[in-house]
Every structure is written in C-alpha cells, then in structure tokens.
Amino acid sequence: MPAIARTRIAILATHGFEQSELEVPLKTLREKGATVDVVSLKAGEIKGWDEKDWGAAVSVDRVLADAEPADYDALVLPGGQINPDLLRIEDDAIDFIKGFDRAGKPIAAICHAPWLLVEAGLLKGRRVTSYHSIRTDVVNAGAEWVDESVVRDGLLATSRNPGDLENFVAAIVEMVEEGAATREAAE
C-alpha cells in the first residue's frame, strides 16, 4: 500500500477557487487513497471559478473553525484570483497555514495561492513560483521567483497555473510520501 493511502490532506479554499486547481488535486489524491477534506470558512458548498465565469460547487467537508493542522499531514492551497484574496484577510486561515509550517508539514500552493504564503510570512528566503501577475508580491515578500511548472523548496511546493497541475500534484504526492516514510521510520 502506498504511503499516501494512510494520510490526511486538507485543501483550504473558499468561493472563487480556480475549478481545476481544487478538483484535480482532490480527485487524484483521493484516487491514490488519501483522505482529503475540503476545508472552508463556512459549511455547505463553495463555488468555483471556471475560466471566465462561475463554475461548479464543491462540498465543504470541514469548517475551518473545527480544523487543526494536527489533524492533517499536508495542506493544498488552490488558486484563482478571488479565492486567495478572500482567504488572506481571514486571520483563522492564515493561522491555519502557519500551523502547517510550524509543524514541518508539506504545503502546496498554485497560481494566486502564494498570496496566502505572503500574508503568512512564509516566503522570505524561499525559492518559489506563482501566477506571473503576483510575481512582484512574491519577490517583495523576500522570495526568489522562478518561472517553472513546479518548484520545491523543502516542504513547500508551488506552481504557476492550471497547465502545471500534473507536476503540481506529483510534487504533493512526493512530499506526502516522503513525510509518511519519515514518520514510519520514527515509529
């Protein structure tokens, strides 16, 4: 059984997430056997953004107020322009992200989601990528920005856009499996 099958992963999102950037990791990670929760600010459903208009709704599995980084092995942050902009002004969302960093757990952010990493103060001295329009924000936060489909810097993986999803999800799987193997070796 692959190590990922024994893991729990949180996808933190709210309305306006880029449809594919939430759905592809959610589907792929669940197919690989991980338990994946969509965590959001309120119960019910959140609505995606699909290219030029509102997309499909996704069910929220857990409300952020009831979620703790200790409950999960990794965190995925989908982009879209609206979703991270709404989340970055929510103290609970930023604290949740910081908790994964403090615990040394993998964090993966795509597209505009590195805005959340900027807000959490997690980019200084890191090598990352993002959607090109937020490059200046990322650089001003102290990161080295590069134009690559996926960039890993320790337990942080970042990608640019939906075209990078295959590499992005592969990096998430790799980080989660490395973490599971490390935990098993310690037991």
Indicate which residues carry an active-site annotation.
Answer: 112
Decide: helix, strand or coil at residue 74.
Answer: strand
The beta strand positions in 7-140, using DSSP E, are 8-12, 17-18, 35-40, 45-50, 53-59, 62-63, 74-77, 107-110, 127-128
Question: Which long-range contacts (C-beta less than 8 Å, at least 24 apart) are formed by 142-145?
Answer: none
Q: Are residues 24 and 55 in contact, defined by beta-carbon separation less than 8 angstroms?
A: no
Q: How far apart are CA 64 and CA 14, in angstroms?
A: 10
**In sequence order, what DSSP letters do the residues of 118-150 get, joined into one string?**
HHTT--TT-EE---GGGHHHHHHTT-EE---SE
Q: How far apart are CA 37 and CA 51, in angstroms?
A: 24
Q: Are residues 18 and 82 in contact, defined by beta-carbon separation less than 8 angstroms?
A: no
- Which H or E run contains 157? strand 156-159
AA identity, residue 81: Q
